[in-house]
Structure formats: structure tokens, C-alpha cells
A and B are shown apart, each in its own frame.
Chain A
Amino acid sequence: MPTTTIAGHAVEVNDEGFLTRPDQWSDELGSELARLIGIELTDDHWKLVHFLRDDFAEQGETATLRRVSTRTGTPVKSLFELFPGKPAKKMAYVAGLPKPKGCV
């Protein structure tokens, strides 16, 4: 796995730039990852990012968009406003988690 330096920390990423080791993540890193995709994290963003982190710790996989929406009570429309274009992928990226598998 390639290693890269983000916010002064050496982290392992895959070829799409997603962190491959969720334990290398921190809030500071999250802000920097968001900045790299042009997002300034607000409280609304943080609520979702922290939900994703907690849910991953419990479930062992990244929550799908629907799961984030129902569990946090955030309408899907708002998820698209907060993480434009590809909210599921972008949330996972910022939270240092693998892309949601979602489906086979």
C-alpha cells in the first residue's frame, strides 16, 4: 500500500486515496482530508463523520447512504448538500474508512 503524508502524518492509502487503516485517522486528519476535496467541515458535517466512525467500530463496515440518513435523521437531500455529488464516497473518505460496499 502506498504511504502518503497528510497534515504531517504518514498514512497508508489505496489507489483511490482512501485511508486503508482506520486507526490512523484523527479529527485533525479528517479536516485535512475534507479540505483536499474542497469541503470545510461544519458541525453538521462532524455529526455525520463521527456517526460513520462509531458505526464502523460497531459494524465492521462503512454505513451506506441510507443507513447514515435513517440513523442520524438527516434527509438524503441534505447529505447531497453537505457532501456534493457523491456523498457516500466523500463521507467515507473524510472519515478515513473504506468506500461503502453497499451492494453486490
Chain B
Amino acid sequence: MQAFVSHVTAALSGGSQRSGYPWGYFRIMTTTTRSLVVLGAGTAGTMVVNKLRHRLPTTEWRITVVDRDDAHDYQPGYLFLPFGLIEPDQVRRSRHALITEGVELVLGDVDRVDPTAREVSLLDGRTLRYDELVIATGTTPRPDQTPGMLGPEWHRSVGEFYTYEGALALRESLAAFSGGRLVVHVTEMPIKCPVAPLEFTFLADDFLGRRGLRDRTEIVFVTPLDGAFTKPVASRELGHLLADKRITVETDFLVEHVDQERRVLVSYDEREVPYDQLVTVPLNMGADFVARSGLGDELNYVPVDKHTSQSTEHPSIFVLGDASNIPTSKAGSVAHFSVEVFAENFVEHARGQAMTHSFDGHANCFVESGGGKAMLLDFNYDTEPLTGTFPLPRLGPMTLLKESRANHLGKLAFRHLYWNLLLPGRPLGLPAQMSMAGKVPAAVSA
């Protein structure tokens, strides 16, 4: 480890190495190698370093990315693991294999960022100096934040599918499930992939039907929202689906604690929801080092300009992916579109120019609805998910907000695109900006 440490330090202290880069303006602007440090090598962090390594000359910029471990998971796969629809080795790869040459991957836990000294400290005592910092440490389920959630029944009758371990444990629980009350529960918004709990519910309905257990099972969807989803048109369409599938919805339910002994969820207004098998989505929070560094809001999300991802407080900090407070879904698609805009902007920013590209909040989510079908949502900061069609390159037009087999196949195909095109930073052919082409305006569809 020692040799590695000094290697990193040497790499990052850079020195006054002269730029040999042939383009005149780079030589004039910069004479020393600067350092870009990216925290988190998940969806956003991996795309950031791979894209920027191809845009920034190695003589000008060193790029380092930090993550606590070497396992990169395709998180959308967690949804399918509990039903045996995907195998564990299909959702996990080594981070090293996903990071392009010329980027240094440092394994360690981030302890703190000091924006004044422009320094990151790791828990093991190493420090990394930066000129520009990208925070891409995502959001994590935190069962410790709800009394009674962690306990002897955690990952048993109190299940979850927002982690690799949780999804695998739930596969065991569902295999042994013989009927009763299956309760799917969201603790508090925002959560990453806000449609995933609904998708889980639809897939559970399908799974139980195939095993002949559906008539012996009552499925209940418990949400802190006042409907199936936040956005009105989508909430209406998804609400219909729940009703069609005989799924009961308990709305405006804010959990106060879980009583594992009595197997009930108890809300702040003293309602109780009994369960035999609970599948909960715990409170999602940004990384604790964000709070320790004084950079976060109540849920450890870093406030940024929603069009440039630049920290509102520190101009040399950018926040990509789930870690920021931008008002759109926390989703891989959002990370993808916003990283495309960010990469363009960062090249300008690095040259000392004004950033001219603007992110519109574009999100695009396939929603599994069971029975080999899926729906597609496409929206941004200003436009809610609408019905109509979406022109998807290669795979053809997809129906928006309506179930179809093509949407389901699109969702399955996405895993390959993720590993082979998205993470390496290759163009997918999807525009970062949302388009109204094919969409039916809400006023007409209502």
C-alpha cells in the first residue's frame, strides 16, 4: 500500500511540468498539470472520468477517481434479482475494468472534503489535492434512520431490494413465501428510481400469479405520497394498473417505526399496516462525508445550479448523479444526460471560459409492469411524463405511459448498453435534451 500512496501523492502534487500540448490556447492558458478528482466510481463518476479523459489532454489534467470498493453494480438489475429473472454475476463488474486508461482509481473511503484547502481526506489518512472536484457519491438506503427497521428480521420478513445483499436475501424470502400479506413500502421521498417500488409490486403480482399464490396473497402498496406517483398524468395511468391488478394502495403514510414482533408498520398519525412479508425502501440519503464537510442539505444532498451541476457555494465543485439536489428523478438516465452536458461545460470551464450548455432535467425511465411488458416515462424540469410515443434510436418508437412488450425488451436490452456504451462514454444516440416529438400534451390526453 505504501508504494501506492506515494505514487498517488506524487501524481497529484503534479509540479510545474511544462505543457507539451500542441494547441496554442492550451499552452497559453496552462503551464502546470492540474488535477481533477472525482469522488464515487458509480454510474455518474465512471461516465465523467471516461468522457473527460478523452476530452482533456493528459499533459494538462490528471484525473483520479475514488471509490470505497471495486464492485460496480448495475443497480437496475436489483429489481429483477429477487424474482430470479437475472443472475447475480450479470449485475456486478470490477470497477477497474470499466475505467479508461489514464485515469487513476484509488480505493478508499472518503472522510471529508475541505473546499478551502481543496483537499479530500480518506478514512485511512491519505489525502488528495484537487483543482476541480466532482462529487458523484450517489445516495444510499439508510434503514438505521427508521426505528425498528434494522433488527433480527432485517433482510428476512423485513426485506429490501435497493442493495445487492438485500436483493439476494429477498430472493430467498420470496422463494419461501406461501401467501399472506405482501406489503411494498416507501419510507420517504426522494428515493433513487422512484418508480422501482411500483415495478417491484407489478413483478411480484406476476411472480405470485405464476406460482399459484396470487389468490392467497394480498398485495398492499404503502406510500408517503397522495397517489401512486408524484406526476399527475403518470399517477393516473399507474393508478389504473394497480387497480387492475387488485393491488391496494395506502397513501399519505409516513412510517414512524416498524414493529418486527407484531409485524406492523406504524405511521406518525398512528395508522397500522400489518404484513407477513415487508419489502421496504428505506430513507435514501447522500453520503455522510457531505454532511461532515458542511456541503449538504437535510438529506446530505449538495445544492447545485440545476442547469450546470455546479455547487452553488464552491465554483470548483460539481455534483453529478444522485448526490445533488436537482429537482428531477434520481436515475441513471438523468446521470447520463447531465454528464453529457457537464462534459461540454467542463471543457469550457477548464479553459477559463463561461459554460454555455444547460441541462433541462431530462429523465427517461422504463417501468416494468409485469407479464413481459413495460411502460416508458420521459420528462424534464418543466414537462411531466406524458402519453404518446418516444423515438428510440436502434430500437424504434416506444409507447409512452402505456404497457408494451417492446418497452420491456428495451428495458432488458439496457443492461448491455449500460456496460458497453454508457459507462465507456460512447454516444447512445439519445439527445440529452428532452423532445416533445411524439408526446401528447397533458391538456389533450386528460
Contact = CB atoms under 8 A, between A and B. Distances in A.
Interface of A: 61, 64-67, 70-71, 76-77, 79-80, 84-86, 89, 101-104
A83 B373 CA distance: 42
Given A77-B268, A102-B189, A102-B190, A70 B252 contact: no
A70 B298 contact: yes
Contacts of A76: 254, 256, 268
A84 B269 contact: yes
A8 to B, nearest CB: 31
Interface of B: 188-191, 194, 225-226, 230-231, 252, 254, 256, 268-269, 297-299, 327-329, 363
Given A77-B268, A85-B252, A67 B194 contact: no
Contacts of A86: 226, 252
Given A76-B268, A77-B256, A77-B268, A103 B194 contact: yes
A12 B347 CA distance: 46
A86 B253 CA distance: 9
A67 B298 contact: yes
B225 A103 contact: yes
Most chain B CB within 10 A, of A61, A84, A86, A103, is at A103
A97 to B, nearest CB: 16
6 contacts: A76-B268, A79-B268, A85-B269, A86-B252, A103-B225, A104-B190
Contact of B188 (A66, A71, A85): A66
B254 A65 contact: yes
Contacts of B190: 102-104
A66 B190 CA distance: 11
Contacts of A102: 189-190, 230
Contacts of A79: 268
Nearest to A61: B327
Nearest to A100: B189
Nearest to A89: B226
Contacts of B230: 101-104
Contacts of B191: 103
Contacts of A77: 256, 268
Given A103-B189, A104-B194, A80 B231 contact: no
A66 B298 contact: yes
A75 to B, nearest CB: 9
A60 B223 CA distance: 26
Contacts of A80: 254, 268-269
Contacts of A103: 189-191, 194, 225, 230
B446 to A, nearest CB: 13
A103 B326 CA distance: 10
A76 B268 CA distance: 8
